[in-house]
């Protein structure tokens, strides 16, 4: 377990020592990429809240983009396939997009991840003239599903996965996430993303667990 303060949108690779016992799921739920595979869930995802409508936020100043994001290798390949158009769209040469170190991780699609670079205090893909992620904006402008290019860690934030458990990102655990405790629960805010990655059966199962916390 790392003792240093975690960076935003970095996947936790082990459950925190202070976490409650996770609730077992009735069967494994495999993501559309083959990994991760969920076998349990932390109850806190049905209790903590956050400001879900990111682009309507007027107070965080894109805080969660301050330190970049872990891009799984499956999505890295797709980003590279769109690199010429994405470089033209962003005006940023592709050599400036990612750090060189690849972190191997069997729970990440593609078997690992690489982190986006940070320039002037924020992710290289942050829209400095406006708001939000330029990869997301690139997808919308070209009629692409943003899931095709944006990594799973990014789309599930502030949820994450560790050792087969659907759980909270480190920024929820240490209360550093600026938009905590307002809006819907973490689960409700990300129910659609969970359905995309893991299927309808998972969200129906989680709906049943959620009902016991109301």
Going by pLDDT thresholds of 50, 70 and 90, the confidence category of residue 13 is low
Tokens 């805010």 -> residue: 189
Tokens 């997808």 -> residue: 139
CA distance 170 to 156: 13
Range of the domain at 83: 23-211
Is residue 14 situated within a structural domain? no
Contact 50, 64 (CB under 8 A): no
Is residue 59 situated within a structural domain? yes
Number of domains in the chain: 1
For residue range 34-66, what is the model confidence (pLDDT) as tens digits?
999 999 999 999 999 988 766 555 665 676 778
Is residue 10 situated within a structural domain? no
Local structure of 29: helix, strand or coil: strand
For residue range 102-118, what is the model confidence (pLDDT) as tens digits?
999 999 999 999 999 99
Is residue 96 situated within a structural domain? yes
∠ CA 44-123-14, rounded to 5°: 35
CA distance 206 to 212: 10
110 token code pair? 């593609």
Tokens 């330190």 -> residue: 67
Is residue 32 situated within a structural domain? yes
- Give the pTM: 0.89
For residue range 58-88, what is the model confidence (pLDDT) as tens digits?
665 676 778 899 999 999 999 999 999 999 9
């Amino acid at each position: 377990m790392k003792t240093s303060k975690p960076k935003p949108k970095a996947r936790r690779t082990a459950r925190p020592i202070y976490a409650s016992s996770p609730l077992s799921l009735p069967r494994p739920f495999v993501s559309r990429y083959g990994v991760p595979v969920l076998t349990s869930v932390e109850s806190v995802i049905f209790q903590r809240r956050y400001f879900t409508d990111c682009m309507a936020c007027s107070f965080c100043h894109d805080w969660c983009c301050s330190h970049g994001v872990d891009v799984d290798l499956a999505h890295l390949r797709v980003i590279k396939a769109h690199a010429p158009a994405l470089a033209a769209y962003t005006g940023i040469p592709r050599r400036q997009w990612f750090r060189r170190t690849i972190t191997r991780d069997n729970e990440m699609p593609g078997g690992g991840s690489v982190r986006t670079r940070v320039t002037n205090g924020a992710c290289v893909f942050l829209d400095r003239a406006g708001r939000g992620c330029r990869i997301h904006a690139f997808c919308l402008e070209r009629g692409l599903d943003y899931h095709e290019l944006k990594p799973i860690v990014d789309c599930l934030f502030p949820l994450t996965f560790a050792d087969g458990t659907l759980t909270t990102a480190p920024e929820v655990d240490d209360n550093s996430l600026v938009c905590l405790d307002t809006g819907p629960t973490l689960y409700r805010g990300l129910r659609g993303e969970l359905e995309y990655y893991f299927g309808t059966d998972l969200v129906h199962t989680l709906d049943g667990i959620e009902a016991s916390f109301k």
